[in-house]
Chain A
């Protein structure tokens, strides 16, 4: 079974609007972390936001917020006030606890294209 699922292969968003990128995960660990990375066409992986499984509040980093619903095993990324520079691939990833250490498992990604 897929550990990280991103159901939206691609989406358009109007500049200045908000967009939600879906991510669901599957783990039996109690301790885990969820990440979102942005990958522009240049290929680099840019860290956006992190949510620990024990964090009670949803993580926020500037225009990025993570809607963490633990019972539903979802960790959706919300980008507010979209900018043209937000056009990129976005990957959700999970770090599981214990021996897995900092090994990340990535979802299939969502391509976002911001329209002017």
Chain B
């Protein structure tokens, strides 16, 4: 079946640095990928929709200059958390639709801890 690979699985960084998270569709092309954020014991909240070859669409309240999304190819979307702060510490997870457009596959997630 379709697989979405997400790296890194976890990252610890200092406050003020930037962190890049990659999301790859391994055996299918994904024109659209989604980035979610999940705080402990909470649900997934959609941050943005990543569209190949065009600008991402951000959900209300999500700072586009802080969470940079690049979807440069049909198999790769990246989320860069710029100038990270401790409040950015969270679980970030991406998803992509396979051939069956209704079926979304999720990456394994990235746990970000900002010190």
- Interface residue ranges, A against B (CB under 8 Å): 33, 35, 37, 42-45, 47, 50, 52, 91, 95, 101-109
For the residues of B in contact with A, the DSSP-based class is strand
Q: 11 A-B Cβ contacts within 8 A? A: A43-B93, A43-B108, A43-B109, A47-B106, A50-B103, A91-B43, A102-B104, A104-B104, A105-B46, A106-B44, A109-B43
Q: When A102-B34, A103-B49, A109-B43 are in contact, do A43 and B91 touch as well, CB less than 8 Å? A: yes
Number of A-B pairs whose CB atoms are under 8 Å?
Answer: 53
Is B43 in contact with A33, judged by CB distance below 8 angstroms? Answer: no
Chain B contacts of A104 at CB under 8 A? 34, 44, 46, 95, 104
Which of A50, A95, A108 is within 8 Å of B42, CB to CB?
A: A108
For the A-B complex with A35-B104, A103-B49 known, give 14 more contacts whose Cβ atoms are closer than 8 Å: A43-B91, A43-B108, A43-B109, A44-B107, A44-B109, A45-B44, A45-B95, A47-B103, A103-B34, A103-B46, A104-B34, A104-B46, A105-B46, A107-B43
